[in-house]
């Protein structure tokens, strides 16, 4: 069975590795550096010369957080530069790679200039950097994270394996997060508002009366385990209550036990008059990958 990759607290290669080789050194004659900054790639530019990142995965900016950051900037200045790249069509402007929240707060604090560091990144690397920064800060809601993953996979042809290395998340985490994109619009709104967690939402995938279940979760403040139990219970009740299953013969039970030992997973056999059904239960995508690998061998 495949081993789960350990969570990397630095999130894959991290921003420093992604940006380090792409820093553009600005000639002394062209930059206005902060005194004693010690950073040869830093300069200050007018705040209006910056434009938002079109690949920004974050769609919701908490206004209270922006106000709090603006107050801090008014008192202490902007302590961390904004990471930017050259604008594609306007030579006098720069596109934000990471730091849009600081840029918004700087405008609210009425700063005329902000410190920046210029990097030469592709569209794909820009999206990767924005994802990494937001995930590190835990600023993204689950749907924003899922949309970011989906864009890297579809628009830039990344695989889940490569994406896992870049952002430092397991393949199962990425796959489970992507599943949220298939939920109904009303459920997505509840996730974006924070009324439902990603765990709640995943437990609801495939359930009947999903909107009613979501209301019950919010009203009763159910945790994820309670939701899973609720969904399983409803699924069980939806079966015919009067149907009595005939006991399995000893040979079938022994075959189930043998297959379970071989695969390391729960196996169920259901015999009918003609043919039957074999069910293999798995909990993670890694376990499913191992079953597929053995069947393909």
Active-site positions read: 100
Q: Are 98 and 14 within 8 A, CB to CB? A: no
* Tokens, residue 271: 């015999």
DSSP character at residue 48: G
Q: Are 121 and 97 within 8 A, CB to CB? A: yes
Cβ-based neighbours of 23, under 8 Å, separated by 6 or more: 41, 117, 118, 119, 120
Cβ-based neighbours of 289, under 8 Å, separated by 6 or more: 2
Q: Where are the beta strands (DSSP E) in 182-287?
A: 267-271, 276-280
35, exposed or middle or buried, with CB in 10 Å at 0-12, 13-18, 19+? exposed
Per DSSP bridges, beta strands 42-46 and 113-118 are: antiparallel
Cα(66)–Cα(47) distance, integer angstroms? 16
Question: Mapping DSSP to helix (H, G, I), strand (E, B) and coil, where does residue 94 land?
Answer: strand
């Amino acid at each position: 069975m495949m081993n789960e990759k350990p969570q990397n607290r630095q999130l894959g290669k991290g921003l420093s590795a992604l940006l380090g080789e792409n820093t553009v050194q600005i000639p002394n004659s062209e930059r206005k550096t902060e005194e004693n900054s010690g950073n040869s790639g830093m300069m200050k530019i007018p705040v209006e010369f910056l434009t938002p990142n079109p690949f920004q995965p974050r769609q919701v900016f908490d206004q209270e957080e922006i106000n709090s950051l603006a107050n801090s900037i008014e008192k202490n200045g902007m302590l961390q530069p904004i990471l930017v790249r050259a604008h594609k069509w306007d030579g006098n402007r720069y596109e934000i790679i990471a730091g849009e929240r600081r840029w918004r707060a700087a405008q609210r604090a009425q700063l005329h200039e902000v410190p920046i560091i210029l990097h030469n990144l592709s569209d794909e690397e820009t999206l990767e950097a924005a994802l990494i920064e937001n995930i590190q800060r835990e600023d993204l809601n689950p749907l924003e994270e899922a949309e970011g993953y989906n864009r890297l996979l579809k628009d830039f042809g990344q695989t889940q394996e490569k994406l896992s290395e870049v952002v430092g998340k397991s393949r199962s985490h990425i796959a489970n997060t992507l599943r949220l994109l298939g939920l109904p619009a009303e459920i997505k709104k509840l996730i974006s508002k924070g009324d439902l967690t990603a765990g709640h939402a995943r437990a609801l995938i495939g359930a009947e009366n999903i909107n009613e279940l979501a209301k019950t979760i919010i009203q009763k403040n159910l945790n994820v385990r309670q939701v899973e139990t609720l969904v399983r219970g409803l699924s069980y009740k939806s079966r015919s209550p009067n149907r009595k299953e005939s006991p399995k013969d000893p040979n079938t039970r022994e075959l189930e036990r043998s297959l379970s030992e071989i695969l390391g997973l729960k196996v169920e056999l259901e015999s009918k008059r003609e043919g039957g059904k074999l069910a293999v239960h798995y909990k993670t995508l890694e376990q499913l990958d191992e079953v597929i690998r053995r069947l393909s061998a």
